[in-house]
Amino acid sequence: MGMAEPEFRATGVRIERWPRSLTNAGQVLIKDGKLALLTSYGRVIDSAPVRAVRAGKPWFADDASTVATVNGKRYRLTMGQRGKRLDGRALAGRFLDAVRGAGGSRH
C-alpha cells in the first residue's frame, strides 16, 4: 500500500511573515487535508488542517504571490522563485484551488 500523492506541492517558494522572509526556497504541501509550510530542509514552519486555512490573492503583490492565514498568522507565499514567473502564476492559482477544494476559505 503506497502513500497517497499530495493534493498540492510547490518547492522553491519564498515564505514571508511580515516583516521578514522565513525562507527563499521553502515548500508548500497540502496532503491528507493538512497544509504544511516547510523550510528548504523540510522543517515545519507552520501547519494546520486546510479547512482552517484562509488563502487569497493580495492586491499589492504580483501574480505569483498568495497570502495564507495559518493558525492566525499571515504568510505571503511567492511561488516559482527558482523557475519562470509564468510557472509561479500557475502554481499560485493551483494552490488557491487546492485550498478551496480541501475546504479552506478565501481571504
Q: Give the residue from 93, 70, 92 showing the smallest Cα distance to 22.
A: 70
Instruction: Tell me the pLDDT tens digit for each residue of 94-106.
Output: 999 999 988 888 7
Look up the pTM and report it: 0.88
Instruction: Tell me the pLDDT tens digit for each residue of 17-30.
Output: 988 999 999 999 99
Asked whether the predicted pLDDT for residue 84 surpasses 60, the reply is no
* Arithmetic mean of pLDDT, 72-82: 89
Asked whether the predicted pLDDT for residue 91 surpasses 80, the reply is yes
**Distant-in-sequence contacts of 41-50, Cβ < 8 A, 24+ apart:** 45/15, 45/75, 46/70, 46/71, 46/73, 46/75, 50/98, 50/99, 50/102, 50/103, 50/104
Asked whether the predicted pLDDT for residue 5 surpasses 80, the reply is no
Do 27 and 15 touch, CB atoms closer than 8 A?
A: no
Render the burial of 45-77: b for 16+ CB within 10 Å, e for the rest: bbebebeebebebeeeeeebbbbbbbeeeebbb
Instruction: Tell me the pLDDT tens digit for each residue of 30-76.
Output: 999 999 999 999 999 999 999 999 999 988 878 899 999 999 999 99
- The larger pLDDT score, comparing residue 14 to residue 58, is at 14
